[in-house]
Structure 1
Amino acid sequence: MPSGSDITAPMESSTTSSGAPAVAWQCFSGLQPYLPIIESMAAHNAAIRATGAAEAVWLLEHAAVYTGGTSARDADLLVANSATPTHRTGRGGQWTYHGPGQRIAYVMLDLAARGGDIRAYVHALEGWIIDIIGDFGVTGTRRAGLPGIWVHNGNSLSGYDKIAAIGVRVSRWVSWHGIAINLAPDLAAFDAIVPCGVTDAGVTSLDALGHNVTFDQLDASMRAHFDTHFGATSPLAYRSR
């Protein structure tokens, strides 16, 4: 469990589905600093494999931060002298923004017990997001070769805006990092980067699409759809070919 004066202690609960091991859900209150959370997540990730610690999903909001994944290019950080902190991180993907109004879900699962297929895992994360936002009247879609979930619009070159980002890392077949769903973040903050390296699309949120969704409502939807994509009865139903 995370500790330290900079991290607000989470509320804990767990869920079990059809004989699956319990997954511990932790919801953090307040804006969380990026690096302490990542350090704690790395420790828990290692403990899942080393000591059999419970699989976990951490729900939180980050204080404003730009993070660059393993494929992030310097040229895509358009405002390098921004007052918002910038960190390189070990997840996959490129530049993204985290901040107030965005729900982060850090997902730590034993993928070896779920078929050992990373592409299947990313596909399951995408399906999970599509079901979540579908509860609030938003139709999400995948774009080939571009992880994350998109919605159709009439403005960008591609006709899409991104509503949720995915960036994962897998260590000894245990996942960490995860997803970010835009409820009502400051969309102007994305102007300082080329989000996920994609130049033909914009960024949107549930709020910008006219849907007033609370974190409690979103979190309930996350839990409701989790077992469909990650539970024992249909673990990672998609398999990469």
Structure 2
Amino acid sequence: MTILVKHLGLVDYSSTYEAMRSFTQERDSDTPDEIWVLEHPPVFTLGLAGDAGNLHSPSNQIPLVQVDRGGEITYHGPGQIVIYLLLDLRRLGIFVKELVLRIEQALIDTLAEYGLKAERHAGAPGIYVAEQDEISQSWAGAKIAALGLKVSKGCSYHGLALNVATDLGAFARIHPCGYEGLKTVDMQTLGIGDNIDLISQTLLGHLQQQLIKS
């Protein structure tokens, strides 16, 4: 299985969103899968089930974009690894729920490499900081990574976002994923000072391992 990995750098959200949609609409059974690794300038995005009221403190500097992924409201900005997964799920032989589990496991495994214990929360897609002795207990249960997907014609787009050294103040303007009072954290706050590019490579490796599983 060949997956083309593209490192796009810091790119505009809306144009990237349209490019994902166009790629998915135009692909056929022979089109190779792609993984896009990037960062976005500050933007709030609202999923199909989202309530715009969860942006409780709007900012003139940060636009809100309605999108067609699942999930609620989230924030993207510099210092956050965003990975879009443009995959033919039929060819991979997996359903979307299995893809979500594999994405979550890749995130958990990546954070474990940096000494951070992380976990799933039932009914709340994403990855959360688990209780551990090494960090302040005040961060237990805080969300550190989000995910949201769209499947069209058996193919996925959108993906995941991991907070590395992110503007946490922007998350304070929203109810992340629709949950009032949900804390959000990044790796830097938890004491991880590694370069975002190195963390991206670690995460990409774990994603690729998960995707080649039978």
RMSD: 1.6
Aligned with residue 138 of structure 2, among 152, 155, 172: 155
Q: Could you tell me how far 1:54 is from its partner in structure 2?
A: 1.4
The aligned residue for residue 75 of structure 1 is 53
Supply the AA of the counterpart residue of 1:37: T
Instruction: State the partner residue of 1:211.
Output: 192
Structure 1 residue 123 corresponds to structure 2 residue 104: no
Instruction: Go from structure 1 to structure 2 and tell me whether the alpha carbon gap of 1:81 and 1:206 turns closer, same or farther (over 3 Å shift).
Output: closer
Per-residue deviation, 1:94: 0.3
Deviation at 1:116, TM superposition (A): 4.2
Partner of 1:57: 35
**Which of 88, 91, 100 pairs up with 1:110?**
88
Pair 1:47 & 2:26 matched: yes
Structure 1 gap segments, 5+ residues each: 1-20, 236-241
Q: For residues 154 and 29 of structure 2, what CA distance do their matches in structure 1 show?
A: 14
Q: Secondary structure at the match of 1:103?
A: strand
Give the Cα–Cα distance (whole angstroms) in 2 for the partners of residues 145 and 82 of structure 1.
Answer: 32
CA separation in 1, counterparts of 2:181 and 2:74?
A: 16
Cα-to-partner distance string for 1:148-181 (whole Å, 9 max, x where unaligned)? 000036337xx40000000100011101000000
Say whether the 8 Å CA contact 1:78–1:194 is kept in structure 2: yes
Asked if residue 176 in structure 1 is aligned to residue 157 in structure 2, the reply is yes
Aligned to 2:172, the other structure's residue is in SS state: helix
AA at the equivalent of 2:186: S
Letter in 2 for 1:46: Q
Alignment identity in percent?
Answer: 31
Is residue 136–residue 211 contact of structure 1 (8 Å, CA) maintained in 2?
yes
What letter matches 1:210 in structure 2? G
Report deviation, 1:53. 2.0
Paired with 1:45 and 1:58, the residues of 2 have a C-alpha distance of 13
Q: What corresponds to 1:36 in structure 2?
A: 15
Residue type at the aligned position of 1:91:
R
For the pair 1:85 / 2:63, whether they are aligned, the reply is yes
* 2: CA distance, partners of 1:60 / 1:134: 22
Report the AA paired with residue 63 of structure 2. Answer: P
Q: Tell me how far apart the structure 1 counterparts of residues 29 and 206 of structure 2 sit (CA, whole Å).
A: 28
TM-score w.r.t. the length of structure 2 is: 0.92
* CA spacing shift, 1:152–1:201, aligned 2, 3 Å: farther
Confirm or deny that 1:25 pairs with 2:5: yes
Instruction: Select the residue among 107, 113, 116 that pairs with 1:138.
Output: 116
What is the match of residue 185 of structure 1? 166
**Is there any run of 5+ residues in structure 2 with no aligned partner, and where?**
132-136
Note the C-alpha offset of 1:83.
Answer: 2.1
What TM-score results when the alignment is normalised by the length of structure 1?
A: 0.82
Pair 223,191 (structure 1): closer, same or farther in 2 beyond 3 Å: closer
User: Match for residue 225 of structure 1?
Assistant: 206
* Counterpart residue identity of residue 26, structure 1: K
Conserved? CA contact 2:175–2:181, under 8 Å: no
| Structure 1 Cα separation of the partners of residues 113 and 195 of structure 2 | 13
